[in-house]
Structure 1
Amino acid sequence: MTKRDLSDRSTEDLPIPVLARDEDAQDSPRGKRWLGSAENETVRAMKSRHLTFIAIGGTIGTGLFLSIGSSVATAGPAGALLAYTLVGLFVYGVVMTLGEMSSLIPVSGAFSTFGDRFVSPVLGATLGWNYYLQWALSIPSELVAASVILSYWTDKLQSWEWSLIIIGPVFAFNLLPVRNYGEAEFWFAGIKVLLIVLFIIVGLIYDWGGVIGHPGPGLSNIRDGAFTGGFAGTAKSFTFAFFSFGGIELVSLAAGESAQPHKSVPRAIKATFFRIVLFYLLTCLVIGLCINHADDTLFKANANSDVAASPITIVFQRAGFGAAVHVVNAVLLTAVLSATNSCFYASSRMLLSLARQGKAPYFFAFVTKGGVPVPALLLTLAFSSLTFLATIWGEGVAFTWFINLTGVSALFTWIAIATINLRFRRAFKAQGRDLSDLPFRAPFSPFLALSALVLGWLMFAAQGWASTTYGDTGTALAKDVLAVYIGVVLFFGIGFGFAVHHKITNPGVPLLVPLLECDFETGAVWGRGGGAAVREKDRLAKEGQSAPVSGGRWAAKYTITRFFRSFW
């Protein structure tokens, strides 16, 4: 089998060829027990609600609870809200187009595999490694955030000491079979959602003056510097929004381990986007209403100095719920740990996919019988050691650099996804395939992908311009510019390396995959023309179910159950 053949194989196209050099490890009973085997597969055990809440768990974390205060301080309440709205519109286009591809081909490699099949093997490898590093480097920022929250109760331990205490249980949690992981993450993410809903309600009541003895600011914070820093301040806040929304695409990555992906993936994609945008926009609005952009506590959040600087904690304190601060911080800690779990999940699954495409060392293709990629998790665990940089540089500096690096990486991932979808649609049409074979169709295609592509590049250009014009001068300015563009260097550096490797190892093979050779079959939920038959089978099965009893308590129970299930 050639390297090109190996690179064309998806996560679901198992088993991969067992190379001679890994035979010893495969034959070892202890190795099979602890590290697994390259012949094992990931397990399709997650339901739609698991997918939705895994994405929520990864997205709603440090970006919402800490860095959103930085955005308000940088751009003002209206500027921050505008930044998050623009990024939300951009991400809407990306997620819808990604759902179109993932519902048809639900593989754990997701957009990395799609890039390899529909654009170029170089793009697939670049996107995969960029995404792996994006999530692996998010772990140190989450650990720094967790140590900051824990320092509320005691400051006797440094960040790296807290990180050592935290990382063990989190790593062990990721060794659980995927169904247990999905179920636990469902409840952890549910705690986050509950906290955000309570925060929005309490914040609005406080702002409107509904708390006795605690007069609310009303609209005074909006009138006093709605757009601090002008357009440059808003553009600079894009970085915080990119970091905050990072992970909304996680549903597609988990599609390879979901049951009935042609049903669960579209449902989870649509639900996840609207819930997250709703949470972020309302949270940003409430923070802007309740806390003045010049408030010193927001700048503490910008420096990430202590937990009292968390905007959510500040609002609860000012609304007269100071006694509940311990509970709030405990929930915040749970939220950050949940986000760390998602970091491990996303990075390990992407590395597994890369290994099974022949774009990462073969060792990382090993999976246990329970579907856990232990070697990939071990490498990801090593990245948590970067938390030590917080001790050398300071928590604020390290946290800011991690945000910039992962935020720009997320932006390039989304731009690449929009590009891939355009090629996906062109190849689909060129091969004479019927759109009815798509389990889910992105609305307004291909204009949605084109709009996302244009908006993404415009925001990147605006962010780069803002880094040279807003705020700092001299050495500080140089650091701001470097912090923005280091992610660009990383992305294109990886791409250049794989392009050279492709030319050397595959001479004569074009970089761009011809439209007629794009693979829509491997790992697909159904073959060409099979969509209609599956839908008809589902319809008949649904009609064969007994209808609920009309009237009485059973009808009421059925109605209530359907109502609550619509949210999950």
Structure 2
Amino acid sequence: MWVSFKDSFKRAEQTETLTAADYDEEKELTNIERININAANSTLKRKLKSRHLEMIAIGSSIGTGLFVGCGGALRTGGPAGLIIGWLVTATGVFATMQGLGELSVTFPVSGGFNLFASRFIEPAVGFAIGWNYFMQFFVLLPLELVAASITIKYWNDDINSDVFVIIFWLFIVFLTLLGVKAYGEAEFYFSLIKVLAVIGFIIMSIVLVCGGGPTHEFVGGVNWRTPGPFANGFKGVVSTLVTAAFSYGGTEMIGLTAAETENPRKTLPRAIKQVFWRICLFYLGSLTMVATLVNYTDNRLIGSSSVDATASPFVIAIVNGGIKGLPSVLNAVILIAVLSVGNASVYATSRSLNSLAEQGMAPKWTGYVDRAGRPLVAILITDAFGLFALIAASNKQVDVFNWLLALSGLSSIFTWLAINVSHIRFRAAMRAKNRSLGELAYVSQCGVWGSYYGAILNSLVLVAQFWIAIFPLGGKPNASDFFLSYLGFPVLLASWLFYKVWKKDWTLFIRAKDIDVDTGRANIDLDVLQQTIAEEKSQLSEKPFYVRWYKFWC
């Protein structure tokens, strides 16, 4: 056992399915050809099962953005502004994930969306998106460790925060070094607890709204009438959009799992479709209850942030209902959510860095994958940076993390926009090469128009955020607030320009007829695939309406 354990850390043996020799030997490979070959030959292990992916899809982004971040959105947008912000963002997320599903099932390769950006738009965009996404989750690990240490203070405020930071850090390091299967198992149970907690909260909230709580006070729509549905008019609604985007952040992580999924054709579509249920039930359902039970003028909402779990409107709603004991239970759920996001952030960061290394966009040694299928160096780098959370005991922690988050504060929106454009370009390449959609194992339910809608919506959110950054709510224009809100854009632009100068490649986009739509595709017999799909559709058409409806969404 010891020898087996020790040998598992050795470099994985490369089993290439496609090599440079498959190309003309006299032809020098271009950057994008080399990128496609390396991504197709990833040594990551396919160990994630269907139940892992489905639960990751449902619960991966149920974290502090939902439990805590919505408090600030409620305060600035009001109850109607909160719901509108999350609903509008949800439509874009759903359309975006459908396009991502089509690409991920067709190309279950390492790197996911940053590889798609390199492949279907151009490498500099993939470089910028990949490093921006890396920074987003790289910073998130220490941020979540700090959030966990603050959550513990709900029960014990006497012990130094750094003690709990070390405890939680060791727990995350242990999980992440066990490999992708351990990540899947941990996220399965973390997500299950979060899902059950949200469902329980919704049921309890309905009882409280109807006057069934200990105080027997009928809440009804009081908080919607007084002081009103909107806190700051249209500007308040706009301000909730970016908070909503942060809350939904992590939804796209399902695209990173494609290279480590046992059966992408079966499991990825089901996981992608779960996005619909998560949006309807776990977000809009719970937020409607929060907006109904908590008044947006409540002083406890002031100062709420992603590192302050004590300001959770979920906890405030339970306290207002007069229910004792449950606030502690919900804070425990928030703690689990925080650790879950910390675990997921190591997964996202390590896989992003591994993909960048495979594409020649990061030092080659950072792409080291061992025999257990772990991108070992990338995991260790991410875990080591987690110790930055020891700043938890400092009185400057909020300022430090605000500026670190500002570096990639718009990362989710940039990533979704890149997915939209990648899907549009992929469809354009298919048309240019006279290829049929019948070749695809999964086709986006929203079609290419869904990606156009997602691209337009994400672009409008960036414009709206620019407006809020220049003219912040309740304040005057100032450089500090602007860069805290919009620093991510110049960082992304600088990354794109750096790659152009570095590679001396000033191509703005790859022409549709030159896009490679074959390298790295799932090894599927086209005739068998089409026959299987036809049989499945024929069998489904004979089922009752409710079964067909369920299968469409699940």
Q: Same fold (TM over 0.5)?
A: yes
1:434-481 CA deviation, whole Å, 9 max, x = no partner?
Answer: 101111212343221111111111111112212333434358x43221
Of the three residues 272, 276, 279, the one matched with 2:282 is 279
The aligned amino acid for 1:360 is A
- Asked if structure 1 preserves the Cα contact closer than 8 Å seen for 2:183 and 2:343, the reply is no
Q: 1:522 to 1:234 in 2, by over 3 A?
A: same
- What is the aligned partner in structure 1 of residue 385 from structure 2? 383
> Does residue 518 of structure 1 match 2:515?
yes
1:506-550 CA deviation, whole Å, 9 max, x = no partner?
Answer: 6xx8453232332222221136xx43413536888999xxxxxxx
The aligned amino acid for 2:177 is L
- Asked if structure 2 preserves the Cα contact closer than 8 Å seen for 1:232 and 1:470, the reply is no
Q: 1:58 to 1:138 in 2, by over 3 A?
A: farther
Report the Cα distance in structure 2 between the residues aligned to 1:254 and 1:368, rounded to whole angstroms: 17
> Does residue 294 of structure 1 match 2:297?
yes
> Does residue 266 of structure 1 match 2:269?
yes
Q: 1:277 to 1:537 in 2, by over 3 A?
A: closer
1:301-325 CA deviation, whole Å, 9 max, x = no partner?
Answer: 24855x4422222222233332233
Report the Cα distance in structure 2 between the residues aligned to 1:121 and 1:289, rounded to whole angstroms: 47
The DSSP-based 3-state class of the residue aligned with 1:322 is: coil
- What is the aligned partner in structure 1 of residue 10 from structure 2? none
- What is the aligned partner in structure 1 of residue 260 from structure 2? 257
Report the Cα distance in structure 2 between the residues aligned to 1:183 and 1:295, rounded to whole angstroms: 39
CA RMSD of aligned residues (A): 2.8
Report the Cα distance in structure 2 between the residues aligned to 1:501 and 1:204, rounded to whole angstroms: 58
Moved more, 421-430 or 274-283: 274-283
- What is the aligned partner in structure 2 of residue 551 from structure 1? none
Moved more, 411-420 or 269-278: 269-278
Q: 1:444 to 1:186 in 2, by over 3 A?
A: closer
- What is the aligned partner in structure 2 of residue 221 from structure 1? 223
CA shift, 1:488, in A, is 0.6
- Asked if structure 1 preserves the Cα contact closer than 8 Å seen for 2:148 and 2:339, the reply is yes
Report the Cα distance in structure 1 between the residues aligned to 2:75 and 2:117, rounded to whole angstroms: 38
Report the Cα distance in structure 2 between the residues aligned to 1:398 and 1:567, rounded to whole angstroms: 42
- What is the aligned partner in structure 2 of residue 59 from structure 1? 61
- Asked if structure 2 preserves the Cα contact closer than 8 Å seen for 1:290 and 1:315, the reply is yes
Of the three residues 238, 242, 247, the one matched with 2:241 is 238
Q: 1:302 to 1:130 in 2, by over 3 A?
A: closer
> Does residue 336 of structure 1 match 2:338?
yes
Q: 1:424 to 1:354 in 2, by over 3 A?
A: same
Report the Cα distance in structure 2 between the residues aligned to 1:83 and 1:525, rounded to whole angstroms: 37
- Asked if structure 2 preserves the Cα contact closer than 8 Å seen for 1:313 and 1:328, the reply is yes
Q: How does 1:525-564 map to 2 (within 5 A)?
A: 525-526=522-523, 530-536=525-531
Unaligned runs of 5+ residues in structure 1 are 15-40, 544-563
- What is the aligned partner in structure 2 of residue 310 from structure 1? 312
Report the Cα distance in structure 1 between the residues aligned to 2:363 and 2:406, rounded to whole angstroms: 28
Q: 1:273 to 1:141 in 2, by over 3 A?
A: farther
- Asked if structure 1 preserves the Cα contact closer than 8 Å seen for 2:73 and 2:240, the reply is yes
Q: How does 1:390-405 map to 2 (within 5 A)?
A: 391-392=393-394, 394-398=396-400, 400-401=402-403, 404-405=406-407
Report the Cα distance in structure 1 between the residues aligned to 2:365 and 2:346, rounded to whole angstroms: 18
The aligned amino acid for 2:74 is V
Unaligned runs of 5+ residues in structure 2 are 1-19, 21-28, 539-549
CA shift, 1:127, in A, is 1.4
Report the Cα distance in structure 1 between the residues aligned to 2:479 and 2:393, rounded to whole angstroms: 22
CA shift, 1:415, in A, is 0.9
- What is the aligned partner in structure 2 of residue 96 from structure 1? 98
The DSSP-based 3-state class of the residue aligned with 1:446 is: helix
Report the Cα distance in structure 2 between the residues aligned to 1:302 and 1:122, rounded to whole angstroms: 33
Report the Cα distance in structure 2 between the residues aligned to 1:3 and 1:365, rounded to whole angstroms: 20
Moved more, 52-61 or 413-422: 52-61
- What is the aligned partner in structure 1 of residue 135 from structure 2? 133
- Asked if structure 2 preserves the Cα contact closer than 8 Å seen for 1:99 and 1:265, the reply is yes
Report the Cα distance in structure 2 between the residues aligned to 1:256 and 1:321, rounded to whole angstroms: 46
- What is the aligned partner in structure 2 of residue 495 from structure 1? 496
Moved more, 285-294 or 314-323: 314-323
The DSSP-based 3-state class of the residue aligned with 1:292 is: coil
Report the Cα distance in structure 2 between the residues aligned to 1:143 and 1:3, rounded to whole angstroms: 42
Moved more, 51-60 or 121-130: 51-60
The DSSP-based 3-state class of the residue aligned with 2:354 is: helix
- What is the aligned partner in structure 2 of residue 479 from structure 1? 480
1:216-251 CA deviation, whole Å, 9 max, x = no partner?
Answer: 422111112311011111111222111110010111
CA shift, 1:290, in A, is 0.5
Q: 1:171 to 1:214 in 2, by over 3 A?
A: farther
- Asked if structure 2 preserves the Cα contact closer than 8 Å seen for 1:119 and 1:423, the reply is yes
CA shift, 1:72, in A, is 0.3
Q: How many residues align?
A: 517
CA shift, 1:253, in A, is 0.7
- What is the aligned partner in structure 2 of residue 409 from structure 1? 411
Moved more, 346-355 or 217-226: 217-226
Q: TM-score when scaled to structure 2?
A: 0.87
Report the Cα distance in structure 1 between the residues aligned to 2:280 and 2:137, rounded to whole angstroms: 21
Of the three residues 321, 324, 338, the one matched with 2:323 is 321
Q: TM-score when scaled to structure 1?
A: 0.85
Report the Cα distance in structure 2 between the residues aligned to 1:75 and 1:249, rounded to whole angstroms: 26
- Asked if structure 1 preserves the Cα contact closer than 8 Å seen for 2:143 and 2:307, the reply is no
